[in-house]
Copies of this chain bind each other. A is one copy, B any other.
């Protein structure tokens, strides 16, 4: 679990943007030979930094025209049931258990409003629900290493670049 150096961070940025790059291509872009790049990638995979690779699919291209964020406020007793329900509904693609008034923040992709209504109604069995339609989803950003420089000022001890 060594801290990642500059090259590791570059590799992560590359692979988060283009997950199918070959070791040789990654090497080319970060200034390393193919074996060296492949070795680093393997190290990142084995150490659990890279947990997998996913194809990204466009919801609209699948007819999933409605994207919503649903917040659910439930009781401790009902939480497990709500989670179980959420895990069984394919339209609920993301489940976050959070602190605060709401207990769960869910992301839902549905073909039409009617289906969203069904999902929301079903969720409402577990507690009060707040539904927001997503008007626009901005492109998700890659995760950057905590030691990487940020654009905003920081507090705490001086940052030292390794």
Contacts and interface: CB of A to CB of B under 8 A. Distances in A.
Interface of A: 1, 4, 12, 15-20, 47-59, 61-64, 69, 83, 86-100, 102, 105, 109-112, 114-115, 118-119, 122, 130-138, 140-148, 150-156
A156 B112 contact: yes
Contacts of A51: 56-58
A89 B69 CA distance: 22
B151 A99 contact: no
B20 A53 contact: yes
Contacts of A47: 61
Contacts of A90: 141, 144, 148, 150-151
A149 to B, nearest CB: 9
B55 A12 contact: yes
A4 B136 CA distance: 25
Q: Can you tell how many copies of this chain the complex includes?
A: 2
Contacts of A111: 146
Given A69-B105, A105-B69, A141-B92, A54 B57 contact: no
B137 A96 contact: yes
B102 A146 contact: no
Contacts of A91: 150
Nearest to A140: B94
A132 B99 contact: yes
A54 B16 contact: yes
20 contacts: A4-B62, A16-B54, A17-B54, A19-B53, A19-B55, A49-B62, A50-B56, A52-B55, A57-B143, A62-B144, A62-B145, A63-B147, A94-B137, A94-B140, A94-B141, A97-B136, A98-B135, A105-B132, A115-B150, A118-B152
